[in-house]
Amino acid sequence: MLEVKKLETYAENLEFKMNAEEYSKLQKEFDILFKQVDLISQIEGIENYEPLDFPFPLKNSYLREDIANEKLTKEDALKNASEVKNNCVSVPKVVE
């Protein structure tokens, strides 16, 4: 079973505010999830299959080949930047 202390740490890192009742409910949900994963791992021969990332084969025939025609110089790339520092585009900090 996943400890509530770990859930509190994860919630804090993700900046979630949760009360004790929500942690208890989340702990029960993870317990169910871990039991289901354990059941799946007990299926005979499961290790012989690749994980499925998409249920249907994709054919992107409508997309063009991505071929670079001309190179952009660093000066041209920085020309329209609103702020440049150390010869690089400077953007505002978005994470604390």
HEC per residue, 58-76: CCCCCCCCCCCCCCCCHHH
Spatial distance between the Cα atoms of 86 and 72, rounded to a whole number of angstroms? 18
Largest CA distance in the chain: 60
Kindly compute the dihedral angle of the four CA atoms of residues 52, 53, 55, 56, in this order, to the nearest 10 degrees.
Answer: -120
pLDDT at 1: 81
* pLDDT above 90 (res 95): no
Residue owning tokens 């010869």: 87
pTM for this entry: 0.50
pLDDT tens for residues 45-90? 999 988 888 888 877 777 778 888 888 899 999 998 999 999 999 9
Q: What is the pLDDT of residues 5-50, one digit of tens each?
A: 999 999 999 998 999 999 999 999 999 999 999 999 999 999 998 8
